[in-house]
């Protein structure tokens, strides 16, 4: 290390010069280091052009780029929904819109972004002038996880997901040798032929890491949004809006950022188990339900519709069952009534037949044809009947079904319909044979 050209090399003096400048809101810590190397910073009238350098914030007087720097004890913490097309630098030489231009804080403090989101990405961006907290949230050593919703072109296969779990090798260019980049958590929210929606968590912030990982698999990123940063969630903000952190949110952020070594170690082990094993892949998981309130409302509405449809189907089925039961009971009652009527008619006919037979036995009646010579068996007579020994006599009983009133009850021949005719004697005018 080259010898410093200033007397501020004692680490017991207080804080590092670049950290003091960053905490005072001069610029980001990296930009403050560049300003020191360019010879734009003086301490107590002495030019400081090399690092390291330590100062006493209370006793020492610091001037940066011709302006006296005073450490302001006031701090602000702002949560911004960064739109797409906005850069995270405080000043852009190309004249593009910056994130700091979207936040007009009433305190007038100079705020700067915690971490970076590239111009083509959107989502949660924390802005503050608290340099120590910003360093804790962004340094990979403290493993503060950040969650992203990613939409990629095409359908990611199970092999692609397995490669993301194992890690994808990424080159760091001039910064050093490349190494594998892994996702701390990987959930599939939705997947079809045209696109795949993922939820990914990272514990390090390499340049365009997610885009490079998925591009290496042949699936370029179509949309990327940060939805989580430590305990913070992107909720209740429209694109381009901002709000101050609540006291509860700030306490949670500080507790996670300034965790002790044991907590960080447990966080690392949890991440290794998630990376080395198989992260939960759900088509509809907790992160899908947190995407936005509109999705939750649509899902609840669809569930209510399904419940009502099932209830209506059950009611229609019960009504049809009751209708079938009523029809069956009515049919059974009608069948029973018809059977009883038939039984009554049959019993009446039987009684009439018995009475007729009794009368015939009591008063025998000779017919003109009774003394006639019987015809051979099976020879039909002119009346259409059959003259044989089984022929019914003229004195047979008549039933009420004989509409002419003078017909006899005959047993019809097999295969021939029954006929109602008058007595054969009334139709036979031939002379009797002696």
So which residues are the catalytic ones? 118
Write the CB contacts of 71 (distance below 8 Å, at least 6 apart in sequence): 20, 23, 24, 57
Q: What is the secondary structure of 129-152 as a DSSP string?
A: S-HHHHHHHH-GGG---EEEEEEE
Q: What is the C-alpha separation between 20 and 291, in angstroms, rounded?
A: 39
Residues forming a β-bridge with 279: none
The tokens of 137 are what?
A: 């949230």
Q: Which two tokens stand for residue 119?
A: 């111009």
CB 385 within 8 A of CB 424: yes
Q: CA-to-CA distance for 63 and 58, rounded, in angstroms? A: 14
CA distance linking residue 320 with residue 176, whole number of Å: 77
Strand (E) positions, 60-133?
Answer: 62-64, 67-69, 77-82, 112-114, 122-128
Q: Exposed, middle or buried: residue 153 (CB in 10 Å: 0-12, 13-18, 19+)?
A: middle
Residues in a beta bridge with 63: 42, 68
Q: Is 178 helix (H, G, I), strand (E, B) or coil?
A: coil
Query: How many CB atoms lie under 10 A from the CB of residue 152?
Result: 24
Distance CA 63, CA 111 (A): 19
According to DSSP, residue 291 is labeled S
Eight-state DSSP code of residue 404: T
What's the number of CA atoms in the CB half-sphere (13 Å) around residue 211?
Answer: 14
Q: Report the distance separating Cα 180 and Cα 184, nearest Å.
A: 13
**In DSSP terms, which residues pair with 113 in a beta bridge?**
127
CA pair distance 181, 170, nearest whole angstrom: 7
Q: Which of 225, 230, 226, 268 is nearest to 144 (CA)?
A: 230
């Amino acid at each position: 290390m080259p010898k410093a050209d200033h007397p501020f090399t004692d680490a017991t003096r207080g804080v590092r010069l670049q950290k003091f400048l960053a905490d005072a809101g001069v610029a980001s810590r990296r930009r403050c280091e560049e300003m020191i190397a360019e010879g734009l910073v003086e301490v107590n009238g002495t030019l400081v052009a090399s690092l390291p350098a330590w100062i006493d914030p209370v006793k020492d007087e610091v001037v940066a780029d011709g302006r006296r720097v005073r450490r302001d004890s006031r701090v602000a913490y702002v949560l911004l929904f960064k739109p797409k097309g906005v850069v995270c630098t405080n000043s852009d030489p190309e004249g593009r819109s910056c994130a700091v231009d979207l936040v007009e804080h009433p305190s007038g403090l100079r705020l700067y972004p915690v971490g970076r989101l590239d111009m083509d990405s959107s989502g949660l961006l924390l802005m503050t002038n608290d340099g120590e907290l910003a360093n804790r949230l962004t340094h990979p050593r403290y493993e503060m996880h950040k969650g992203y919703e990613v939409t990629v072109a095409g359908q990611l296969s199970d092999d692609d997901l397995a490669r993301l779990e194992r890690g994808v090798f990424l080159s760091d260019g001039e910064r050093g040798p490349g190494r594998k980049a892994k996702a701390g958590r990987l959930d599939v929210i939705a997947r079809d032929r045209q696109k795949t929606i993922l939820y990914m968590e990272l514990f390090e912030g390499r340049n365009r890491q997610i885009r490079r990982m998925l591009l290496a698999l042949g699936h370029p990123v179509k949309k990327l949004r940060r939805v989580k940063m430590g305990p913070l969630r992107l909720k209740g903000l429209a694109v381009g809006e901002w709000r101050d952190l609540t006291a509860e949110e700030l306490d949670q952020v500080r507790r996670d950022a300034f965790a002790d070594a044991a907590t960080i170690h447990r966080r690392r082990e949890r991440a290794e188990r998630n990376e080395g094993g198989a992260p939960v892949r759900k088509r509809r998981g907790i992160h899908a339900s947190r995407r936005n309130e509109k999705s939750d409302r649509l899902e609840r509405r669809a569930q209510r519709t399904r419940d009502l449809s099932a209830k209506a189907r059950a009611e229609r089925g019960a009504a049809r069952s009751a209708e079938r039961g009523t029809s069956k009971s009515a049919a059974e009652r009608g069948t029973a009534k018809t059977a009883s009527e038939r039984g009554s008619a049959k019993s009446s006919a039987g009684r009439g037949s018995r009475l007729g037979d009794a009368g015939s036995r009591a008063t025998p009646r000779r017919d003109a044809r009774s003394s006639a010579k019987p015809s051979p068996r099976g020879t039909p007579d002119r009346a259409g009947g059959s003259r044989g020994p089984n022929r019914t006599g003229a004195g047979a009983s008549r039933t009420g079904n004989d509409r002419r009133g003078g017909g006899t009850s005959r047993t019809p021949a097999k295969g021939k319909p029954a006929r109602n005719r008058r007595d054969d004697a009334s139709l036979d005018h031939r002379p009797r044979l002696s």
